[in-house]
Amino acid sequence: MTQPLVCTIRDQKRLQREFELLSADAFDPKQQAEELCERFQHAIRRYPADWTVESRRSSEHVWTFGKAQVRYRIVPDAEAVEILSVSTLDAGEQTR
């Protein structure tokens, strides 16, 4: 049965700090980081989860928005998202 994934982000504060560092040159880095966190949370909520035994294995994904890129792992058994890395993309790598 497929349903929206409802997970918590492990170490939400770390994700916020990483986004603040990426947004250091923005007018309001804290506000920019909060917006990125909201967009990321919205994106992972849209991820459909097939709750079969086989699909309950951890899976790695990449989320990109603007210059921010987040590598993360979905851990269905723990109903959690683990952040693996947060990085910036070079201008040539950015997707629209």
Considering only CA atoms, which of 45, 59, 34 is closest in space to residue 8?
45
Could you tell me the residue range of the domain that residue 83 belongs to? 2-88
Asked if residue 82 is part of any domain, the answer here is yes
Contact indicator for 74, 59 with CB cutoff of 8 Å? yes
Asked if residue 35 is part of any domain, the answer here is yes
Q: CA angle at residue 70 from 68 to 72, to 5 degrees? A: 175
**pLDDT class of 96 with cuts at 50, 70, 90:** very low
Asked if residue 96 is part of any domain, the answer here is no
Considering only CA atoms, which of 67, 74, 15, 17 is closest in space to residue 47?
74
pLDDT tens per residue across span 23-50: 989 899 999 999 999 999 998 877 665 5
Asked if residue 93 is part of any domain, the answer here is no
The model carries a pTM of: 0.76
Domain with 84 in it: what CATH number?
3.30.2310
